[in-house]
């Protein structure tokens, strides 16, 4: 009898706790999207009855005419921001209150992932970002430009040497080989020809790295990692295969040791990070003399930090850049007049520089910039981005039906990137691919806080300029020698893979390179 009574008390406590969780936003008068509705949407996605993009828009539109609304990540309350002014206020003006992402995988459990710039938090993030940022200035990008150009030329040469005039390819597969070659060269200082050697160790590691995004079981693991990182660690579920961590850590350690012993200097990311490490040691000594703050003292860039950042740049650039190029090429096939205009810009630039393409040549391709920005507007790298409240903050009411919303330390909000990019209020006729949105004149009319392809504020993507240089350089050489055309296997309109955590084609990007006689 006592056991039954105790079980009853436990059940009552659980019910009380759950009700308390799911009424969290009621105390602030925040309208919420019901958990039942969210669950139904997720089930439809998992059952492949709905794609993630439609779910994002449905949830975004579920509470119309609101600056924000509440959701529950299982038991965690979170706020979704819809108002661009509020997004700008929280991510830029009051960034000091919202500096972190919610991923909590520890360095001890997953050293490479846990030490990366995307994961680290607070003062350590500020310091590491400060140390690394100079590696992405225009002068440093110019240093790496030659390496990117070599990879782009190698790509075009590979296909120019083929006997066929029209070469059918699955774009994602061949573009991943290009991004692999660029990243191994610019990040690790190694020349890897993924066309002559398609089974190289880097591509093998990339397959293992991105295995967590494929398959239903891995999707469940991915959600556990985001929602319950402590449980994820307790279960001993690795983010990446152990061989991946060992490979990259050993590679960077060996590379640094060899360069230091032999005095080797190569214009790549490892060299820039080694230089940043030297600067961090100088700053550490200065900081330790000036400050007693234990949060800022003793923060320096170690070889393991360098390995983690090089690993993360590879992880972030391998698939995302290849996917962006795929969607850009898809839009060029669907809109051939855009491809023609891009090629005309390429040919004019090529003639003006006498074939000696430089960083400045690529930087001056203004129509390319417009096309790429429209590509990542329509096909952004992420559906949404999170921020965690690190210092309590109150959202003051701006309209009659609002009341102050107090965000405590640890509170979460989401930036609905895909939904904002497809909101006709901010981007009229959002499903139409229209680079004219990003002319210098029209860009001024794009409301701040609505174009979030690379995030917003100080925690936005640090490598976006490098990614743009890489894509523009590649497409410059590709479009000079080839026309991108559809084949019988081409899927237009494209079908999106339903359960993928980012945008990708369900059946691949099948198109062809048609040689242009030069």
Kindly report, residue by residue over 466-518, the tens digit of the pLDDT. Answer: 999 999 999 999 999 999 999 999 999 999 998 787 899 999 999 999 999 87
- Beta strands at 76-81 and 412-415: parallel, antiparallel or unpaired: parallel
For the ranges 13-22, 199-208, 381-390, the lowest mean pLDDT is seen at 13-22
pLDDT (tens digit, 9 = 90+) per residue, 107-135? 777 778 888 898 899 998 998 888 888 88
Other beta carbons within 10 Å of 315: 21
Indicate the helix (H) or strand (E) that contains 513. strand 510-515
CA distances (Å), 48 to each of 42, 305, 379, 455, in order?
10, 40, 20, 28
pLDDT (tens digit, 9 = 90+) per residue, 242-270? 888 899 999 999 999 999 888 888 878 88
For the ranges 204-218, 298-312, 477-491, 500-514, the lowest mean pLDDT is seen at 204-218
Cα angle, residue 213 at apex, residues 331 and 319 outer, rounded to 5°: 45
- Residue 266 CA to residue 259 CA, distance in Å, equals 9
pLDDT value, residue 156: 97
- Residue 81 CA to residue 103 CA, distance in Å, equals 19
Residue showing tokens 């089930």: 43
As a whole-number percent, the residues of the chain with pLDDT over 70 amount to: 90
**Does pLDDT of 447 surpass 70?**
yes
**Does pLDDT of 348 surpass 70?**
yes
pLDDT (tens digit, 9 = 90+) per residue, 384-422? 999 999 999 999 999 988 999 999 999 999 999 999 999
For the ranges 5-9, 48-52, 148-152, 180-184, the lowest mean pLDDT is seen at 5-9
Instruction: Check: pTM over 0.85? Answer yes or no.
Output: yes
pLDDT value, residue 294: 42
Query: Annotated binding site, which residues?
Result: 461
Q: Residue 19: pLDDT band by 50, 70, 90 thresholds?
A: low
Q: Is 230 exposed, middle or buried (0-12, 13-18, 19+ CB in 10 A)?
A: exposed
Query: Annotated binding site for heme, which residues?
Result: 461
Structure tokens at 407: 């965000």
Q: Residue 217: pLDDT band by 50, 70, 90 thresholds?
A: low
**Does pLDDT of 298 surpass 70?**
no
**Does pLDDT of 295 surpass 50?**
no
Strands, E, within 115-185: which ranges? Answer: 166-170
The dihedral built from the CA positions of residue 140, 143, 149 and 154, taken in this order, carries a sign that is negative
Indicate the helix (H) or strand (E) that contains 130. helix 122-132
The ranges assigned to domains in the chain are: 30-97+382-452
pLDDT value, residue 291: 46
pLDDT value, residue 31: 96
**Does pLDDT of 440 surpass 50?**
yes
Q: Residue 292: pLDDT band by 50, 70, 90 thresholds?
A: very low
């Amino acid at each position: 009898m006592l056991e039954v009574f105790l079980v009853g008390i436990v059940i009552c406590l659980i019910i009380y706790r759950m009700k308390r969780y799911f009424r969290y936003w009621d105390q602030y008068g925040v309208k919420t999207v019901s958990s039942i509705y969210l669950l139904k949407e997720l089930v439809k996605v998992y059952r492949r009855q709905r794609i993630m993009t439609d779910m994002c828009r449905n949830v975004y539109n579920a509470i119309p005419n609101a600056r924000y609304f509440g959701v529950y990540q299982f038991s965690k309350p979170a706020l979704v921001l819809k108002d661009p002014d509020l997004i700008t206020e929280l991510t830029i003006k009051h960034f000091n209150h919202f500096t972190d992402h919610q991923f909590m995988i520890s360095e001890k459990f997953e050293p490479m992932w846990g030490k990366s710039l995307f994961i680290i938090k607070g003062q350590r993030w500020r310091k590491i970002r400060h140390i690394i940022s100079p590696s992405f200035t225009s002068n440093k990008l110019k240093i790496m430009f030659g390496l990117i150009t070599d990879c782009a030329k190698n790509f075009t040469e590979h296909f120019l040497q083929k006997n066929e005039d029209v070469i059918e390819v699955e774009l994602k597969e061949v573009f991943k080989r290009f991004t692999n070659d660029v990243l191994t060269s610019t990040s690790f200082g190694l020349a890897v020809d993924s066309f002559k050697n398609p089974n190289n160790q880097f591509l093998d590691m990339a397959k293992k790295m991105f295995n967590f995004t494929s398959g239903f079981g891995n999707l469940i693991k991915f959600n556990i990692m985001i929602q319950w990182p402590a449980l994820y660690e307790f279960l001993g579920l690795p983010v990446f295969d152990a061989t991946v961590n060992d490979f990259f850590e050993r590679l960077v350690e060996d590379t640094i040791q060899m360069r230091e012993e032999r005095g080797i200097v190569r214009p790549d990311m490892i060299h820039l990070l080694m230089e940043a490490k030297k600067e961090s040691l100088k700053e550490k000594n200065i900081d330790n003399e000036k400050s007693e703050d234990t949060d800022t003292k003793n923060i320096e860039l170690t070889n393991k930090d360098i390995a983690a950042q090089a690993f993360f740049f590879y992880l972030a650039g391998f698939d995302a850049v290849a996917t962006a190029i795929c969607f850009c090429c898809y839009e060029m096939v669907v809109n051939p007049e855009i491809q023609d205009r891009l090629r005309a810009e390429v040919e004019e630039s090529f003639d003006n520089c006498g074939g000696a393409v430089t960083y400045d040549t690529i930087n001056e391709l203004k129509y390319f910039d417009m096309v790429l920005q429209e590509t990542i507007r329509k096909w952004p790298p992420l559906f949404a981005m999170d921020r965690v409240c690190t210092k309590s903050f109150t959202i003051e009411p701006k309209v009659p039906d609002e009341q102050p919303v107090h965000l405590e330390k640890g509170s979460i909000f989401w930036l609905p990137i895909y939904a904002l990019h497809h909101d006709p209020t901010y981007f009229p006729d959002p499903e139409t691919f229209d680079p004219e949105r990003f002319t210098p004149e029209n860009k001024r009319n794009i409301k701040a806080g609505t174009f979030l392809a690379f995030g917003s504020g100080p925690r936005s993507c640090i490598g976006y300029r490098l990614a743009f240089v890489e894509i523009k350089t590649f497409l410059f050489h590709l479009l000079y020698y080839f026309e991108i055309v559809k084949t019988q296997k081409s899927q237009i309109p494209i079908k999106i893979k339903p359960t993928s955590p980012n945008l990708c084609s369900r059946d691949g990007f099948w198109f062809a390179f048609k040689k242009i006689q030069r």
